[in-house]
Amino acid sequence: MAEFMMIIAQDEAALQDVPQEQFGKVYAWWQASQQSGRLKAGVGHRLQPSSTAKTVSIAANGTAPSVTDGPFIEAKEVVGGYGIIVAATLEDAVKFASEWPGSGPVKIEVRPVMEM
Amino acid sequence: MAEFMMLIAQDESEAPKVPPEQFEKVFTWWRGHEEAGRLKAGLGRRLQPSSTARTVAVKGAGGGSTVTDGPFIEAKEMIGGYGIIEASSIEDAVQIASGWPAGPAWIEVRPVLEM
């Protein structure tokens, strides 16, 4: 089995219209997937809105880093959370992510973790 | 103390030019912070290049989903890994991230939602 990162991206403007029971559905699915070992327990997180982010830019030449408010990239969809899928192949990991029970729209990027 | 996600973004086209000793520097820096409790041990990951990614777009309202190759967003800077910082404020978390020993890199620091 290998690990795949699941990066969950959403349109934050649309999130305000999502009914509360949708979050409950995702939460229940997440808990069940952790219990069955398809999601790594204790590893995923949900993040505060991107307006709370700060971005540190590190230069190549050793000059002091600069800090700006906001995410590293301004886009309609921003990262809202992540999890680590345990699966045999990328295809299996994608199949798992496709079971996302929330109402959407949501984009889930699935990417293999590098073995260290 | 609170948790802050550190999303590490890099220009992947520059990655092949990065000398191996830079990776070694980051590894040593990371280890040091884990041992000191400033980075949560066992939680961070480094990712394969964004070309290996697939994106599932869930439409909502029972509309099913579609799968495409590539990351959820095409950009010059791509997420290459992450870690979870333990700090008392976002300012302290930013200070830890500012010590990242190998540029160029963009590190987004964001508070984790308490569940």
Which residue, A61, A43, A81, is CA-closest to B72?
A81
Candidate from B59, B98, B112 with C-beta closest to A104 = B59
- Phi/psi at A23 (5° precision): -65, -40
Rounded to a whole number, what is the distance in Å from the CA of B1 to chain A's nearest CA? 16
A36-91 per-position pLDDT tens digit: 999 999 899 999 999 999 999 998 877 889 999 999 998 889 999 999 999 999 99
pLDDT value of residue A63: 87
Candidate from B43, B58, B100 with C-beta closest to A108 = B58
Q: Report the alpha-carbon distance of residue A66 to residue A63 in Å, rounded.
A: 9
Q: What is the mean pLDDT of residues B57-75?
A: 88
- Phi/psi at B78 (5° precision): -120, 150
Q: Are B88 and B1 in contact (CB under 8 A)?
A: yes
Q: Which of B34, B47, B58 to mutate to test the interface with A (most CBs of A within 10 A)?
A: B58
Cross-chain Cβ contact A110/B54 below 8 Å = yes
pLDDT value of residue B23: 87
B90 touches chain A (CB under 8 A): yes
pLDDT band with cut points at 50, 70 and 90 for residue B59:
confident
